[in-house]
Structure 1
Amino acid sequence: MPYRSGTDRGRPANGRESEGCAVRGSSGRRVAVLGGGVAGLTAAMELAERGFAVTVVEPSGWGGKARSTSVPGTGTGGRLDLPGEHGFRFFPGFYRSLPDTMRRIPFPGSPSGVAGNLREAPQMLSARSGRIGETVVDVSHATGPRTPLQILRARGMKLGAEGESNEELLYFANRMLVYMTSSEERRLGEWEQTSWWDFTAADGASEEYRKVCVVGATRTVVAARAEVCSAHTVGGFLEAFGYGFLGRGEAQAADRVLNAPTSAAWIDPWTRHLEGLGVRCELGWRVDRLTVRGGVVVGAGLRGPGGRRGELDADWYVCALPVDRIGALLERGLAEADPELSKTAGLRTDWMVGLQFYLTEPTPITRGHVIYQDSPWALTSISQAQFWDGDFRATYGDGRVADCLSVDISSWDTPGIRYGKPARDCTRAEVVAEVWAQLADALDDGRRRTLHDGLLHSWHLDPAVKNLDGPGPATNDEALLINTTGSWALRPRARTAAANLFMAGDFVRCPVNLATMEGANQSGRAAANAVLEAAGHDAEPAVVHALYEPAELRRLKEVDAALYRQGRAHILDTPPPWASTGGGRFSATG
């Protein structure tokens, strides 16, 4: 693929003359993938497997937000540097497209490729302040099918729980049933425009109901405020996760994690496999602009190390940049290629940031993920060493670190319990001390301390977060898309108005309506399929797996579709029990 750097402009770096730009109906096989996150690497793999000549450019690091990092200079005596993550990796049972890709990435000694590096996390702990009311739920695949009541308990919901009435719990079950039996028309037409807060009738409900059923479902999963996140998104995620927990759909574990740092277990083998397929992987180059003529992209301007400039010429272009980097490109050719892409400027992002605590003793809090229901900063965590192959102490750091407690911070705007400030207004050291205090609040009961200062060796906060120590306001280079009400209409499809430009990323429309690795993978497959179609390629398209839908609910969805077209409410939709007291605000009548 012709590529010209600023030092030899006009001469292709690969020694070939330019083959010219793509035109509508072109059968050329040169593809430029702009962005090397999960979406971009997926598109590159699907196209390379089908005979296309692919170049991928990525400014920061392969894998994007999914990659792991390390703490430079912490490895001694031949050990590796301590591992860090943007946030811990989580592979729910409803993921189908991503595991399929992972199975096709070779890994030494694994007949199932890097998918063989997945390990089941068989427990989920709902931790509560002072350990009062905490719940450990078996989510293992070996346990077999579960009941809906067990799903509610997995979220920390219990009949007769202190501060939460049975009526509230049953009403939340009604909300899930309403969503699960809603037609696609209602999901997109009504629930997409309804916040999760309003859908669950949070106004007038108890604080416990709001904390567990309303806020907990958004902050600990998608890093979005219940007041603005759409019921279409939150309901869809809980539905998909619930079917996996019930043992419906794919026969695989409901919760899986990797057996090593993400880059070592998955991303590095992936880029090596792509290079083996002939893909050119160019790290350190950022897309600066697109040149568009007559509805066709004729080149991509790049900026590389040391301010060097380059040009990338191809027949087909896949824009796989994160949503927070799309905005800068809109005024530099992207909106000219397709004016509809300007809508992406209305999409919102929020912060979900990883913090790793390196501990001097193994501290497996539970054999899976922990949800800290009472933490103001909506914390979740996992103790990693128990899932990783090999001896953690002998492999990483200075020989004194035995475990890594990896924590995700999902709420950066809520005051904490130690300093009384939101995370955005804290220094890095204050963020760490505040998170430690919130973990201890849930895990210590006054008699036994799970976490104590003698355990803490060191810590690592995602370096994508900048300026916590000043000057100026804190920023995040890798923010996460949040699905606010009405945002579906702002999200692009894989195919654009430009004849040879296609979009990929977790913000592109796909079956998983949530910013996830699965959604990114699905979008990369969709972009590859659009290239195949535009190029007239007769190869079998990539499979974009649909979410599981039980046959038993099909008829109810058909009935609801008819009701929705008539402007009528869902047949099971009822106001909350507390609405009659005047405390509630609820409307879901279509």
Structure 2
Amino acid sequence: MSVVLKGQGLRVAVLGGGIAGLTAATELAERGVDVTVVEPTGWGGKARSASVPGTGRGGRLDLPSEHGFRFFPGFYRSLPDTLRRIPLDGSPDGVAGNLREATHVLSARSGRVGERLTDVSTAAGARTPSEFLRSLGMETGGRGLTSEELLYFANRMLVYMTSSDERRLGQWESTSWWEFSAADGASDEYHKACVVGATRTVVAARAEVCSAHTVGGFLEAFGYGFLGRGEVLPADRVLNGPTSTAWIDPWVTHLDSLGVRLELGWRVERLTVGARGVTGAELRGPRGERRDLTADSYICALPVHRVGALLDRGLAEADIALKRTSDLRTDWMVGIQFYLTEPVPVIRGHVLFLDSPWALTSISQAQFWDCDFRATYGDGTVADCLSVDISAWDTPGILYGKPARECTRTEVAAEVWAQLCDGLNGRGRTTLHEGLLHSWELDPAVRNLDGPGPAVNDEPLLINTTDSWAARPRAVTAAPNLFMAGDYVRCPVNLATMEGANQAARLAVNALLDASGHPGAPALVHTLHQPEELRRLKEVDGELFAQGRAHILDGPPPWAVSARGRRSPRRVPGGPRGPRAPR
């Protein structure tokens, strides 16, 4: 537990109470700073859990619901550090003691033909790169990839892992994952296993628009964790209860004990800007009342879709460069929970439905929770919660032939259930059937599925499209007392995740402490593992990139053959000296 410093007279207003806002409040309060956090909707932001009103009977709690299941990959280091500092009775490791290892990943296939179960536990010991490829559902023969496809994808990973930082920002940031992985002309199986599966089931982004910088970086980080490189941590962890119960509620209690003022129901309407920076924030309360919040410094920890509304209300006046955030794109990754009358663990971990047109992922939650689910939640007949994320909302389904955005809520639930059954039933085994289904709950942040008007998602997720890095703000702004935090702010984890939000908040706090002259030590911002064995290869690539030359291992795929039988060369954009990396 960090030592709390004595107050230094610095007042900070944190605008937004999601992961970024609560992280910033923690770091500041531990350094004796006077902190006020305002949040319009609920503590924890998109990470919070909720419940289905009126479903509890006989003294039981209402059935738990959420925006989507939470998981903590092994390369998350900043966020677990925060969890360890949140006190929890009986746990010397704080709230981090509520994490449980998810030991397996199932790559489910239609009719269970060609499915693959992978042990990702720490107990499995050291692994080889070929085992990493198999963990992604990639193998040769049968329904799997051809040998040349598997080898080429291995080449793609090696190219990215040995690319210099300059090339990652200067070339791969401008290259879509579709183009980088050479999807054109490849087989459907290659698309599912290597191209689409690597994006939609993780970051809710289309491979055609998501940058290779982002997808390659995520697979690299996950791969090092799976291979046991760097800090040895479980590759996949989940909480032992609903997110708010196991994490957010103890966090809010801890912040209150540190003297943080937590004001729920207040929305930021406008920033007032003067010659010396931000002078105040105009707030609207839960009953429509208005008041001004004043502080010495401000941390804007609002989600990216809410930041846009402030651009014409003071934010752009504070820093005109922040207008670039309006170029950032969001997409939908939405949770739906199916409540089952019997335990259906499937596997002890996550399931990736590679043949699902809606890019489904799921986890059976009751097996990880430290309670008797049937005795704790609902009406006494519910024994499990199958939590599912829907990542593709524009692709026709298998039941109604419509994309999710055009379905009613009931049709979405029926379609998801059909796709789950397609991946988990077959070859003489029936994992799911209608008799198991008690009820379901679709994220209420999605509105208008039953009309009128087009469907709306109140809590979309940032997607890292090509060239989006330049539009993402830094923690420091042109206003000397305004700092940015959130999963869209530039940070070592180049992905809209809880870890990214946590890191961005730490960067904002460090910038604030430095600007104010506060004596508190800076917050630690963890970097991703970079193996020493690849350092020289990256240096060589940096030299090649500066000369405008391609990566030494970068070549066309076996299926890219011209009419003359010669393979088309891969080119480096940006002229003879190569592209310049955004700063």
Report the CA distance shift for 1:450/1:581 in structure 2 as closer, same or farther (over 3 A).
farther
Q: 1:115 aligns with which of 81, 96, 99?
A: 96
1:516 aligns with 2:497: yes
Q: 2:225 aligns with which of 235, 241, 244?
A: 244
Report the CA distance shift for 1:413/1:585 in structure 2 as closer, same or farther (over 3 A).
farther
Q: 1:304 aligns with which of 285, 288, 296?
A: 285
Secondary structure (helix, strand or coil) at the match of 1:105 reads coil
TM-score (norm 1): 0.94
1:398-417 aligned at under 5 Å gives the runs 398-417=379-398
Identify the residue that residue 189 of structure 2 maps to in structure 1. Answer: 208
- Post-superposition shift, 1:563? 0.4
1:342 aligns with 2:323: yes
Q: 2:154 aligns with which of 162, 169, 173?
A: 173
The separation in 1 between residues aligned to 2:64 and 2:463, in whole angstroms, is 27
CA contact (8 A) 2:327 2:471 kept: yes
The separation in 1 between residues aligned to 2:92 and 2:425, in whole angstroms, is 43
For residues 106-140 of structure 1, the C-alpha deviation after alignment (integer angstroms, 9 at most, x for no partner) is 01110000000000000000000000000000000
TM-score (norm 2): 0.96
Report the CA distance shift for 1:169/1:281 in structure 2 as closer, same or farther (over 3 A).
same
CA contact (8 A) 2:364 2:386 kept: yes
Secondary structure (helix, strand or coil) at the match of 2:283 reads strand
Secondary structure (helix, strand or coil) at the match of 2:50 reads strand
- Post-superposition shift, 1:337? 0.1
Consecutive unaligned residues in structure 1, runs of 5 or more: 1-26
1:259 aligns with 2:243: no
Identify the residue that residue 199 of structure 1 maps to in structure 2. Answer: 180
Identify the residue that residue 286 of structure 1 maps to in structure 2. Answer: 267
1:233 aligns with 2:214: yes
Report the CA distance shift for 1:490/1:43 in structure 2 as closer, same or farther (over 3 A).
same
For residues 239-279 of structure 1, the C-alpha deviation after alignment (integer angstroms, 9 at most, x for no partner) is 00000000011121000000000000000000100000000
- Post-superposition shift, 1:51? 0.8
The separation in 1 between residues aligned to 2:188 and 2:362, in whole angstroms, is 23
CA contact (8 A) 1:97 1:545 kept: yes
- Post-superposition shift, 1:586? 7.3
The separation in 2 between residues aligned to 1:74 and 1:534, in whole angstroms, is 50
1:150 aligns with 2:134: no
Aligned length: 564
CA contact (8 A) 2:556 2:568 kept: no
Indicate the larger mover: 142-151 or 328-337: 142-151
Secondary structure (helix, strand or coil) at the match of 1:327 reads helix
Identify the residue that residue 561 of structure 1 maps to in structure 2. Answer: 542
Q: 2:551 aligns with which of 546, 567, 570?
A: 570
Identify the residue that residue 12 of structure 1 maps to in structure 2. Answer: none
Moved segments of 4+, more than 6 Å: 583-586
- Post-superposition shift, 1:165? 1.2
The separation in 1 between residues aligned to 2:562 and 2:356, in whole angstroms, is 30
Identify the residue that residue 572 of structure 2 maps to in structure 1. Answer: 589
The separation in 2 between residues aligned to 1:268 and 1:237, in whole angstroms, is 29
The separation in 2 between residues aligned to 1:527 and 1:161, in whole angstroms, is 51
- Post-superposition shift, 1:305? 1.0
Report the CA distance shift for 1:434/1:266 in structure 2 as closer, same or farther (over 3 A).
same
CA contact (8 A) 2:485 2:505 kept: yes
Identify the residue that residue 17 of structure 1 maps to in structure 2. Answer: none
The separation in 2 between residues aligned to 1:96 and 1:232, in whole angstroms, is 20
1:86-485 aligned at under 5 Å gives the runs 86-162=67-143, 164-445=145-426, 447-485=428-466
Consecutive unaligned residues in structure 2, runs of 5 or more: 1-7, 574-583
1:538 aligns with 2:519: yes
For 1:232, the aligned partner's letter is: H
Secondary structure (helix, strand or coil) at the match of 2:477 reads coil
For residues 291-327 of structure 1, the C-alpha deviation after alignment (integer angstroms, 9 at most, x for no partner) is 0011410000001112111110000000000001111
RMSD in angstroms over aligned alpha carbons? 1.2
For 1:78, the aligned partner's letter is: G
Secondary structure (helix, strand or coil) at the match of 1:577 reads coil
The separation in 1 between residues aligned to 2:130 and 2:83, in whole angstroms, is 33
For 1:188, the aligned partner's letter is: L
Secondary structure (helix, strand or coil) at the match of 1:527 reads helix
The separation in 1 between residues aligned to 2:572 and 2:264, in whole angstroms, is 52
The separation in 1 between residues aligned to 2:429 and 2:76, in whole angstroms, is 38
1:527 aligns with 2:508: yes
CA contact (8 A) 1:103 1:115 kept: yes
For 2:175, the aligned partner's letter is: T
Q: 1:69 aligns with which of 45, 50, 58?
A: 50
